[in-house]
Amino acid sequence: MTSLVHNEMLKLLRKKRLYVIILIIAFLVPLFTYAQFKQIQTAAEKLGTDDWRTRLQQEIVDTQNRLSSSRIQDEWRKFLKVRLTQQQYYLDNDINPQAPGAPTFMRVFAENSIDLLLPLLVMVVAADLVSSEASGGTIKLLLTRPVQRWRILLSKYLALLLSVSFIVLMVGILSYLISGIVFGYGGWNLPLLTGFSVQGDELVTNSVHMVPQWQYILMEFGLVWFVCVAVGTLTFMLSVLLRSTAAVMGIMLASLIAGAILVNMVSSWESAKYFFMVNLQLTNYVSGMALPIEGMSLGFSMAVLAVWTIAALVISFVVFTKRDVY
Amino acid sequence: MTMIPALQVKDLRKTIKRKEIIKGISFSLYPGEVFGFLGPNGAGKTTTIRMIVGLIKPTSGTITIGGKSVTSQFTEAMKHLGCIVENPELYPYLTGWENLEHFARMDKSIPKTRLNEVIELVGMDRRIHDKVSTYSLGMRQRLGIAQALLGKPKVLILDEPTNGLDPAGIREMREFIRRLAREEGLSVLVSSHLLSEIQLLCDRVAIISKGSVIRTDTVDKLLAEQERVIWRVSPVDRAMQLLSEETSVKEGLDGTLITLYDSEQVPVWNKKLIEAGISVSEMKTQLPSLEDLFLELTGGETID
Amino acid sequence: MKKRTLPVIIAISSFSVLLFLFGLGWAVKDQLVDTHSELQPSTKETAGNTEPSAKKDNKITVAAIGDSLTRGTGDDNGKGYVGYLIEQLKKKSGSSIAVANSAIKGERSEGLVEQLKQPQIQRQIANADVIVMTIGGNDLFRGGEALQSLDTNSIEDSRIQYIKNLEIIYGAIRKQNPKAEVFHVGLYNPFINMQESELTTAIVRDWNFAAAESAAKFEKVVYIPTFDLFQLRAEDYLYSDQFHPNAEGYKLIAERVASLITVQEEGKTK
């Protein structure tokens, strides 16, 4: 099996997929770093102070002002309320959730890329893992070896897991290294609050506790990885089912974007919570953001993703081992 | 023959969407022989080959390679098989060497030294470290054969091996295949829709049409059975009439007549013609081309 | 070199699989399995109080609290009187000015009383050199509602409540910051051109008077009248909602407040 995985990794590497992804990340991170830097700068300019308490207080007031506007949607209002309570909680406990520093940037970057950017990157690798062999005809040579089909597929899946992990790790490392140039490399021990949960409009804080940022980041990256594996597995299934890599990418792209849109408007459509793509923002549960749909929780979302992942794996293996190859 | 067949196909059937595509094909391949698989496009050659190499699961029937069943003992069976199905599609972004390494890694029994052996065998040592995307079709074909030979197979299956090659390449390929069979004792299954190719390359041939084998025999025998006599005579009409009384006669091109060859009867017919005052200016025997043969066997179904 | 990249990447990837699995496991344990006792909100009480030292000396800090007027609603430039005031002060003092605008649209006096209990607001008040505020417009007009009925009794009740709250507000500010000058921008009558303007004007005057009386009870609390600013050409200085001032109106208010704030060369208020 190791030599099979070796083969798959070799092919992935030679197709330059991983390099392209690293390049994309290396290009995007400075962009966001600069944006964040600018944001901090303008905020400081506007308030005439770089004291984070004043800034956070200002944010709270801004939120309150938005809440009092009558033209605000109910979902948005709920979100803002939760946000408000949380900000107030940070303020009351004298914790700066946005303390600048490379680890903070890393965390915020991961939180913001979990539902679209990272799944897209994973998709680039997963989409043609099987379909390119089918469209390139090399599958005929691959399947006429003295190796069972399920082993070949498993080696491909393991290669996918490895490269997904590699991508997530690269996101972490690159965002840390690059943003550190601007924000400095410290801040691993910054205390952060987690354990917020939302019931209705209320933010429940009884299980809120403090964790150091490094642990927080490790947990969030674990969740990011989980999401990437789920998205990767679904793409993998499509790659098994379809010959055309473009079709795989198209379907995946459409559902991811649909997910990003749905999250903002499904609060009244309850059964939408069983879609995998509205459950991608796992990190929001850790940081205590409002949920798109009533009744969702970290456990629920992880379960939904796990079910989709397992179903996709079963379908992939059954189809791949039974299918006639023309 | 008492030899154990290297490849045996028994009553192979395949139904796709309730339509029977392969209707009970049986044949055997013996060590050291080159076996031709002849039929027009769409006759079921490729489907049959794909079933033999395990890409398609047969609806019923058995396939054994070196005594191992392709369906129930897949890995053991595949150890004895090397193949190129349709075009030799390799990874264009890898070098020839990396491609071979890649496939060698998939079979633990292949030693590293085997790579150099097959490269030498197909004569590719000069450009083996170049990317496959820079190779010509002939080189890809050779690399394809190299990968098929990696596992020292007993059976080599080549689907349309000369497709897209220039005449020199075709001759080279033909000699190469014959040498493999002769020197390495390989059984080679070659499919083609080109009769001339099969005629020159194969020891035995199975003629396949619409999903079933209509004839399996040695090429020599098939041809001998169909040996004919061509008569150049005048007047043609009268000769035709006389010969028709004895045997079946067809009109050939440029006013010749064609009858079957029968070593005892031909002198008798000749005498009869001469006695009737017909001048016989030419009389020769001719082996038919497989084209004629195919037309004969299938009753008018054309090739291509 | 190419020969070595692949094993290295495989090794790194395998390591990261383990790392992320560990992270995931920890996240599940931390978020789903463990139960945590509530964090005491005042664990770091001391940190907040040592903070004022962060304030730089050559800088004027302005704290703005109150309702939509302080927020700047109606000003197309989004500055409001606070914005214009800061501009003027900057020009006057030549030093930088820090502003913390905590005003909330629609805020009434009860709301402000509550807001002033928040430690961060208190901190801002404590740090401020100058405090500006508007409050009462929403108590009085309730978005125009109250004036439609003009029930004198209920208006009188709100006034009493308002004055009570106002004194609490002043008291709270003084408690946090005994030194800073407090400028309370007074009420004007946006309905002066409408029917029954006599009655509404009388009510606004009444409220202003009462508020000024209260302000007088506290040291360094200045009640700044604005009634006169909008008395004659209200339509020129009011926003299209006929309630909030427009940019011109805000500039008038800012000028008036600015004229009351004196700054020294090095930037400190006197």
B19-24 own/partner pairs: CB under 8 Å, 24+ apart: B20/B211, B21/B47, B21/B211, B22/B47, B22/B48, B22/B51, B22/B58, B22/B211, B22/B212, B23/B210, B23/B211, B23/B212, B24/B61, B24/B212
Neighbouring-strand partners of residue B228: B260, B286
How many residues comprise chain C? 270
Give percent helix, percent strand, percent coil of chain A, each to the nearest 5: 70, 5, 25
One domain for residues B155 and B170: yes
Strand order across the beta sheet in which B256-260 lies? B250-251, B256-260, B228-234, B279-286
Residue with structure tokens 């709301």?
C111
Q: What is the pLDDT of residues C191-238, one digit of tens each?
A: 887 777 788 888 888 888 988 888 888 888 889 888 888 888 878 888
* Structure token digits, residue B16: 């796709």
Whether residue B1 lies inside any domain: the answer is no
One domain for residues B164 and B273: no
One domain for residues C4 and C126: no
Shortest distance between the Cα of A134 and any Cα of chain B, in A, equals 11
One domain for residues B106 and B194: yes
One domain for residues B42 and B184: yes
One domain for residues C219 and C137: yes
| B215 vs B35: CA distance, rounded Å | 13
Burial (CB count within 10 angstroms: exposed 0-12, middle 13-18, buried 19+), residue A209: middle
Whether residue C115 lies inside any domain: the answer is yes
> How many C-beta neighbours within 10 Å does residue C2 have?
7
User: Which CATH number covers residue C63?
Assistant: 3.40.50.1110
Angle at which helices A213-241 and A245-263 cross, to 10° = 130
A245-251 own/partner pairs: CB under 8 Å, 24+ apart: A245/A127, A245/A128, A245/A131, A245/A132, A245/A135, A247/A131, A248/A127, A248/A128, A248/A131, A249/A123, A249/A124, A249/A127
| Nearest C-alpha in B relative to A145 | B78
Q: Cβ separation of A68 and C106 shorter than 8 Å?
A: yes
Query: Which candidate, A304, A258, A250, A253, places its Cα nearest to that of A279?
Result: A304
* Interface residue C25 vs chain A (CB under 8 A): yes
Residue with structure tokens 């205590």?
A288
Listed as ranges, residues in chain A with pLDDT below 70 are 47-50, 69-76, 78-79, 196-208, 266-267, 289-294
Q: Which residues of B209-231 are buried (b: 16+ CB within 10 A; e: fewer)?
A: bebbbbbbeebeebbeebebbbb
Residues of C in contact with A95 (CB under 8 A): 44
CB B37 within 8 A of CB B191: yes
Mean pLDDT (whole number) for B128-144: 88
* Interface residue A194 vs chain C (CB under 8 A): yes
Task: Tell me how far CA of residue A276 lies from CA of A271, B25, B249, B303, C25, in angstroms.
Answer: 12, 48, 76, 53, 21
Whether residue C30 lies inside any domain: the answer is yes
One domain for residues C138 and C226: yes
Shortest distance between the Cα of B45 and any Cα of chain A, in A, equals 12
Quote ipTM for the complex: 0.80
One domain for residues C15 and C134: no
| B295 vs B301: CA distance, rounded Å | 6
Chains B and C touch (3+ CB pairs under 8 A): no
Q: Which of B55, B81, B129, B157 to mutate to test the interface with A (most CBs of A within 10 A)?
A: B55
Query: Which candidate, C53, C219, C73, places its Cα nearest to that of C143?
Result: C73
Shortest distance between the Cα of A178 and any Cα of chain B, in A, equals 32
Neighbouring-strand partners of residue B22: B14
Whether residue C172 lies inside any domain: the answer is yes
| Nearest C-alpha in C relative to A7 | C6
| Nearest C-alpha in C relative to A303 | C28
Q: Cβ separation of B106 and A145 shorter than 8 Å?
A: yes
pLDDT at B232: 86
Q: What is the pTM of this model?
A: 0.73
Task: Tell me how far CA of residue C59 lies from CA of A58, C54, C84, C127, in angstroms.
Answer: 19, 11, 18, 11
* Interface residue A2 vs chain C (CB under 8 A): no
Neighbouring-strand partners of residue B256: B232
* Interface residue C59 vs chain A (CB under 8 A): yes
One domain for residues C31 and C53: no
One domain for residues C56 and C149: yes
CB B233 within 8 A of CB B278: yes
| C55 vs A48: CA distance, rounded Å | 11
Residues of A in contact with B77 (CB under 8 A): 146
Mean pLDDT (whole number) for B232-259: 81
CB C81 within 8 A of CB C69: yes
Q: How many CA atoms lie within 13 A of A151 on its CB side?
A: 16
Query: Which candidate, B157, B147, B60, places its Cα nearest to that of B110?
Result: B147
pLDDT at A249: 92
Give me the torsion for CA of A142, A143, A147, A151, rounded to 10°: 90
Burial (CB count within 10 angstroms: exposed 0-12, middle 13-18, buried 19+), residue B165: middle
pLDDT at A235: 94
Q: Which of A138, A143, A322 sits opposite B55 (nearest CB)?
A: A143
- Determine the structural domain holding residue C14 and report its residue range: 1-35
Query: Which candidate, C69, C39, C111, C106, places its Cα nearest to that of C253?
Result: C69
Query: Which candidate, A217, A220, A182, A35, places its Cα nearest to that of A101?
Result: A182
* Interface residue A68 vs chain B (CB under 8 A): no
Residues of A in contact with C74 (CB under 8 A): none
Q: Peptide bond before B235: cis, by omega within 30 degrees of 0?
A: yes
One domain for residues B117 and B55: yes
One domain for residues B56 and B167: yes
- Given a cut of 60, whether residue B304 has pLDDT beyond it is no
> How many C-beta neighbours within 10 Å does residue B178 have?
16
One domain for residues B238 and B212: no
Give the DSSP letter of residue C220.
T
| B240 vs B248: CA distance, rounded Å | 10
* Range in A162-166, A223-227, B190-194, B260-264 with the lowest mean pLDDT: B260-264
One domain for residues B200 and B275: no
Number of domains chain C is built from? 2
* Structure token digits, residue B98: 């990396």
Contacts of residue A44, defined as CB under 8 A and 6 or more positions apart, other chains included, come to A50, A55
User: Which CATH number covers residue B24?
Assistant: 3.40.50.300
Query: Which candidate, A257, A16, A243, places its Cα nearest to that of A125?
Result: A16
| Distance spanning both ends of chain C, measured CA to CA | 72
Number of domains chain B is built from? 2
**Can you spell out the DSSP letters for B100-156?**
HHHHHHT-TT--THHHHHHHHHHT-TTTTTSBGGG--HHHHHHHHHHHHHTT--SEE
Q: Cβ separation of A144 and B78 shorter than 8 Å?
A: yes
What's the pLDDT band for B249 if we cut at 50, 70, 90?
A: confident
- Determine the structural domain holding residue B13 and report its residue range: 7-223
* Range in A311-320, B245-254, B285-294 with the lowest mean pLDDT: B285-294
> How many C-beta neighbours within 10 Å does residue B195 have?
19
Listed as ranges, residues in chain C with pLDDT below 70 are 1-3, 34-58, 143-151, 263-270
Q: Sort strands B250-251 and B256-260 into parallel, antiparallel or unpaired.
A: antiparallel
- Determine the structural domain holding residue A121 and report its residue range: 2-322
- Neighbours, chain B (3 or more CB pairs < 8 A): A
> How many C-beta neighbours within 10 Å does residue A243 have?
16
Last residue of one domain, picked from the residues B223, B258, B274:
B223
Give percent helix, percent strand, percent coil of chain B, each to the nearest 5: 40, 30, 35
| C114 vs C108: CA distance, rounded Å | 10
One domain for residues C6 and C85: no
Q: Cβ separation of C12 and A48 shorter than 8 Å?
A: no
Question: How high is the mean pLDDT of chain B?
Answer: 84
Q: Which of B54, B76, B98 sits opposite A143 (nearest CB)?
A: B54
Residues of B with CB under 8 A from a CB of A: 50, 53-57, 74-79, 81, 83, 85-87, 89-94, 98, 102-103, 105-108, 147, 151
Number of domains chain A is built from? 1
Whether residue C42 lies inside any domain: the answer is no
User: Which CATH number covers residue B258?
Assistant: 3.30.70.100
Query: Which candidate, B63, B67, B99, places its Cα nearest to that of B84?
Result: B99
One domain for residues B104 and B89: yes
One domain for residues C206 and C105: yes
Contacts of residue A7, defined as CB under 8 A and 6 or more positions apart, other chains included, come to A155, B102, B105, B106
CB C106 within 8 A of CB C94: no
Burial (CB count within 10 angstroms: exposed 0-12, middle 13-18, buried 19+), residue C127: buried
One domain for residues C136 and C187: yes
Q: Cβ separation of B55 and A146 shorter than 8 Å?
A: no
> How many C-beta neighbours within 10 Å does residue B164 have?
13
| C217 vs C209: CA distance, rounded Å | 13
| Highest mean pLDDT, choosing among A214-223, B240-249, B267-276 | A214-223
Residues of C in contact with A169 (CB under 8 A): 12-13, 16, 19-20
Shortest distance between the Cα of A324 and any Cα of chain C, in A, equals 32
One domain for residues B217 and B232: no
Q: Cβ separation of B89 and A141 shorter than 8 Å?
A: yes
Whether residue C265 lies inside any domain: the answer is no
Residues of C in contact with A53 (CB under 8 A): 48, 51, 120, 123
Residue with structure tokens 């899946």?
A157
What are the φ and ψ backbone dihedral angles of C135, each rounded to 5 degrees?
-160, 150
* Structure token digits, residue A100: 């600048």
Residues of A in contact with B87 (CB under 8 A): 137
Q: Which of B83, B91, B151 sits opposite A138 (nearest CB)?
A: B91
Whether residue C270 lies inside any domain: the answer is no
pLDDT at A209: 73
pLDDT at A203: 62
Mean pLDDT (whole number) for B84-108: 88
**Which three-class secondary structure state does DSSP give residue C85?**
helix
Shortest distance between the Cα of C170 and any Cα of chain A, in A, equals 20
Distance of CA B199 to the CA centre of its chain: 8
pLDDT at B303: 47
Give the DSSP letter of residue C60.
E
* Interface residue C205 vs chain A (CB under 8 A): no
- CA angle C238/C244/C246 to nearest 5° reads 45
CB B204 within 8 A of CB B216: yes
CB B283 within 8 A of CB B271: no
